[in-house]
Structures are given as C-alpha cells and as structure tokens.
Structure 1
C-alpha cells in the first residue's frame, strides 16, 4: 500500500533534481541578450559587492514631537529676541506667536521642512518661567523618529546620551569638559562648551565618530557600528545661558521700568525688578528656546547588503535587500540560504548568504530544511491520496 507513494516520491525527487540543471542551462543562453543590471550591489561580472544607500538628511520631512511650542496654550504668546540692525548694533524685536494663525505659528515641523534662505522659519518653545529664582524653562524636548535604523536604537524605548553641550560641564552634567575618548570607552558621551565651537555662529555640528580611536577601522568595530546607529533622536534643552541677563536685556529694561514708574525715588536693583509683576512678564518673554533647522546626516543602515531603502508592504521604511539577505536592515539570510552564517558586508568580501549551489557538472547541494521537506513528501501524498489495493 505504501509502495506507490514511495515510488512517486522517488520519481518526483529524480525529476526535480534532473530538471533544475536543464532549466538553468536553458535560460542561461538568454543572459547575454539582457541589459546588464546597474545594481551597485553587484559588479560588472555579477559578483556581490558591498553596497550602501546614499548619504542623506534623514530628518528631512520627518515629524518632530516638541514638549513645548509657543502659542499652543489656548492663547497667543509674545517672545522677544535680539537681532543685528543695519548699522551693526543689536536691537530687540518682539513677535506674537499664535498656533491658530499659520502666519504667526512656530511649530516643530518647521525644523525639518525645506530650508529656504529667503523665507527662514523656526520652532519656538512657549516663553515661560517657573519662579524668579529658577528663571529658565527646563527640560524642553524635541523628539525625532527616523522611521528605521540609521548609521536609543530601539525606537525610543530607551535613550543613550551621545553628546552634552554646556559652559558648566562639571556643575550641570557631572562630566569633565572635552574628556579624552579611548578604545575602552568609545561609546562615552562627551561634554563640550558649544560657544567655543562656533563663537560667531549659532550653528552646532556634532560628528558621531569625531575623536573615536577606532573610527578608521569602522567596518571592523561593532562597538562603533552600534554607537552611530539610531532609530530616534531626542534633544533636551535643560537650561538657558546664565549670563543672558546682562548681555541680553536686564539693564535696559530696568531703565524702562524706572521710566514707567515715574522715576520712583527708590533705587531699584536686579532683585526688585525680577520680583515685580512687570519684571516677571519681561523675563518670561525672553526666556524660551528656538531652533531654525535640524539636519541629521546618515545612511539607511543595511549592513552593506542594499543600496537603497523603500517603503515595504507593511508601510515600514526598510532596506531593499540583496545578496540573499532579508529583514528591515538586511540583518539575516533568506530562508534556505544558510550555507554559512550571516555577516555584514565588507570591502573585501560582500559576505552574501548562500543556498543551493551548482558545482561540478551540476552536482546539487541541498540545505537541511529541503531534505526534511522531501523526507516528509511521501507522507503528504499517502495521507491525502490513499491507494486502495484491496480487490
């Protein structure tokens, strides 16, 4: 009763294994008629090579979540800032922020829109003060979701600090200023005085590999590969500069306070001014955070097995994997391609995943899962196509 299914299995097995080389040989004759693929993941001879997506501004067009935005508390707010006048002097200019009026709104989405020099835009936090002794709004955050891993790396579940900026690194963050990075602490966040980086500019640039000893051996450093990988980026504004009172507005507005109070005979000082209703309002209008643009340069992380990222069928941002790899980051081999363990592509070896290979007159190597499939094939036909030999 079991002989016929076994015979069918034998015939099917032989037919399959004899058909594959014939099929391959038949279609190979047409290969020269096709235009060669210009896929950067393969060389001119069709051999796998390391490939990477283009270096892009990964933040462009991405939504940003801000914990504070001006004009969103149900009423417009007023903020004041310094700007250079045509004669070179610094003058104060105040504006109204209203989230309900697009022409007056300053939402976080302006950080990742198209940067137009003729129409500069910016995000502004809600001007606020907590008390007259703690004059700075604290812990205002901007959170950017990149959509996938770019070269916290677990979609915002945990956060790892990458850089601190402060004029008081020791006092505020308990970290030495510009600490030296060694091979033993290559994932250590440094603290730097941003004013020393760009004293004449408000632009700050952070390079993830700067000062990291293994930067020149990046492809052989899993530690640094993990260090530069992120799915989400969070910027935390902890406090404003402590010297803004003097360089910004305090002395000028004390004089204004005196004038508005009819040149009161008492000598007003900084403490009295800050504790006055007028002083508190003036203080509030000048204590806020603002940023014009947020750019994140990076490559979609594909481990050297893809040259681009696409939107997959589930709406996720994923690598267009080559070299018989699969996954959002090409981080594993396709089914039945386990001839050797998965590996990241390198400059000298693309490390493609390998499955069935044809060698020496089409001798066939079959992966273990395939053998298991064929071993159970007779049972499949036996169970679903029973043969009745009874007379």
Structure 2
C-alpha cells in the first residue's frame, strides 16, 4: 500500500548491494591478470598449503571455482555461497567501494571475513557522489599505533568519529565480522525519524583496509616489506543495509530513471526513487507538489505526517507560500492562491470580488456562486 495513515511512513530496509554488482569495485583482486598463487598455513602441523586464484572470468561452481572477484561478496542464499569469496592480492592497502545512483539512508554495514580481520581499517561515506568523503569509523587492534590522533572512547554523538577496537583481534581466523551501525547502541530508538535525530545518508560507501593482520612469523623477515604470500584480505560477504531516503513521505520506491549498471534487473533490490505521498514531490519527497504550499515543507514526523496542502476551493490551479501570511496567521496558513478564477479573490479564493457577493444557495466551490 502506498498510503501513509496516521503519521510518517518509511520504505523497508534491504541490502543496497543486491543488484549493484556493476557499481561495486575493489582496488586489488587476486588473479585478474592471470593465475596467482596464495597459501594458507596449518598452524598445528606447520605445513603450508597453496592454491591458485584466477579471476579472469566470473565465479562458477563447476566452471571457474577459483575466481574471487569482488561481486562474490554480494549476499545470496545459494547453496554454494560459502564456496565463493572475494580475495585481494598480498598487499596492505586495499579499498572496496559501492557507488549508488541516488541518495540512500544507511542503516548498518556487516563484513564477514574468510581471512583474518584487518589489523586496521576505516569506513568512509560520500553524500555528493564521490566528490568529497568523510570518515565514518576507524577500526584497529591498536588504535594508538594505527590511528594515534583518533579518540578510542565510545562515541557521544551520532557524528563522532572514533576508533573501535572490538573487531580487529586475531580470533577468529575465519568467519569474523566487522559491524558498523548508523546509530550507536546508546542512540538506538524505535523510530529513527524522531525529532533531533540526524539521519545518515550517502551516495557512496568505501571500506579501506590499511593493515593486514599478520602473525609473528613476519618479524623473522624484517627486511621484506611486502606481506608474505599467506596474508591477504578475503571476504565471504558484505552487506550494506539501508533504504531509499524519502523524508518520511513514502512507503515504497521504484528504480531511478537512467540508473546505471544492473540497477533494473533484480526484483529484491532496494530502489532509490520514492513513490511520494502527503502531496510531496521529488526523488526523495523533499518538496511540496505545486498547489500544495499552505505551510513550509517538513519531513514526516513520528506522529505528524506534515502533509503538504493548499486550499483554493477549486478556483485556482497554483499556489505559492508567503512567509508573511504564515507569520500573520500564527502558522495556520501561508499558502496564497494565484490568479483566482470565477470572480474570486482572497488568499484562498474564498471571497467574491468587489460588487459581487456569495449566493447563499451555492457552495463555496461552485464556479457560479459569485453574483
């Protein structure tokens, strides 16, 4: 249902990664230029096992199981989902970036690793399609070493940038997660659109791995600057949970016109153009429709829908907002109808012109009521 009864309404959350494989990129992926070897170590036995990464072609369980492209991290519920993953080359500095086609509201990020989690990493977001970036959160096992200028205490406000130590330890060696929520637990409430709560919106999100987690054997080879062949980043899945951003004035969304990549192909993906209610308009329901300007546009509140209205009693096709009238009426009405027809005048075309009067037998909306 498109209607928003009672108060504000909001589209359902979903994984923004789904359907956007073409808008996802990684700065380093093993085997894209040809087969590359990588190794794992059985620490109890001390033996080393090596494998081949060949990402020249997409992953296929039978045809090409050695492909570890970045699109493998998009969550599926296939039976082979743990047989595929993304894997970087043996380098410390690697980034993963998702580019969205419009502004979305961000809920949380979950990374599930096949390898050790990074010793240090950070997450950035952009609200202007990558022209500028802002760090969202730092993660490190030793914040004072990797990010010495960043506070390591819990955030006090929603936009505080801090270093989190919870997700960077040596255990587990596989299957570990890194979780980033838009609202820290101390701020979590049932209605994220409640007054004075800053929404987290973005058009791009970038995960930057800055330091591999390596065990003590790298200390034996101090002269070697590159990490050994058994150290790399690999991810089973990456979930960017969110919804289209509609300012509380829509309950569903449709594809953005001119969307890039595979944006139209999957039925379960989260689209970005709001189906606006409450007489609002715009990609994010960020303005009132023409002829609905009785009060300034506002986002939908927790209990108040803030519907855009303007009443010209059927005698005008346009309306503009007048701040002086809005102030004079104590905030009751600021809409002024344009070019009243049917011999009407007044801010809402509610009066007959001079030398005419309202026929008491006819309704105010009757085009022939002024005689």
- Place the TM-score, normalised by the shorter chain, in its bin: 0.5 to 0.7
Q: Which moved more, 1:111-120 or 1:141-150?
A: 111-120
Structure 1 unaligned spans of 5+: 1-37, 43-47, 128-136, 251-268, 376-391
Please show how residues 1-391 of structure 1 align to structure 2 within 5 Å: 38-42=1-5, 49-63=7-21, 64-72=24-32, 74-82=33-41, 92-102=48-58, 103=64, 104-120=66-82, 121-127=84-90, 137-151=91-105, 152-175=126-149, 178-182=152-156, 185-195=157-167, 199-200=171-172, 201-213=175-187, 218-221=192-195, 224-225=198-199, 228-241=200-213, 243-246=214-217, 270-271=220-221, 283-315=227-259, 317-356=272-311, 358=313, 367-368=319-320, 371-372=338-339
Q: Which has the larger radius of gyration?
A: 1
Q: Which moved more, 1:101-110 or 1:362-371?
A: 362-371
Structure 2 unaligned spans of 5+: 59-63, 106-125, 261-271, 321-335, 343-371
TM-score (norm 1): 0.63
Secondary structure of 1:170's aligned partner: helix
Rate the CA distance shift 1:83–1:336 in 2: closer, same or farther, 3 A: farther
Q: Name the CA distance, whole Å, in 1 between partners of 2:51 and 2:341.
A: 75
Alpha-carbon offset, residue 244 of structure 1: 1.9
Secondary structure of 2:29's aligned partner: coil
* Contact persistence 1:333–1:342 (CA under 8 A): yes
Secondary structure of 2:179's aligned partner: coil
Alpha-carbon offset, residue 348 of structure 1: 1.5
Secondary structure of 1:148's aligned partner: strand
* Contact persistence 2:195–2:301 (CA under 8 A): no
CA displacement 1:228-265 (0-9 Å, x = unmatched): 21111100010112x4243xxx6xxxxxxxxxxxxxxx
Q: Name the CA distance, whole Å, in 2 between partners of 1:288 and 1:340.
A: 57
Secondary structure of 2:229's aligned partner: helix
CA displacement 1:272-304 (0-9 Å, x = unmatched): 8x65xxxx99x5422321111000111211111
Higher strand share: 2
Q: May I ask how many residue pairs the two structures share in their alignment?
A: 285
Q: Name the CA distance, whole Å, in 2 between partners of 1:208 and 1:339.
A: 34
Higher helix share: 1
CA displacement 1:350-374 (0-9 Å, x = unmatched): 011113354xxx8889624862597
Q: Name the CA distance, whole Å, in 2 between partners of 1:90 and 1:304.
A: 57
Alpha-carbon offset, residue 99 of structure 1: 2.2
Rate the CA distance shift 1:288–1:170 in 2: closer, same or farther, 3 A: same
Rate the CA distance shift 1:169–1:356 in 2: closer, same or farther, 3 A: same
* Contact persistence 1:356–1:364 (CA under 8 A): no
Rate the CA distance shift 1:77–1:221 in 2: closer, same or farther, 3 A: farther
Rate the CA distance shift 1:365–1:68 in 2: closer, same or farther, 3 A: closer
TM-score (norm 2): 0.66
Q: Name the CA distance, whole Å, in 1 between partners of 2:42 and 2:278.
A: 55
* Contact persistence 1:65–1:143 (CA under 8 A): yes
Rate the CA distance shift 1:89–1:335 in 2: closer, same or farther, 3 A: farther
Rate the CA distance shift 1:89–1:298 in 2: closer, same or farther, 3 A: farther
* Contact persistence 1:356–1:366 (CA under 8 A): no
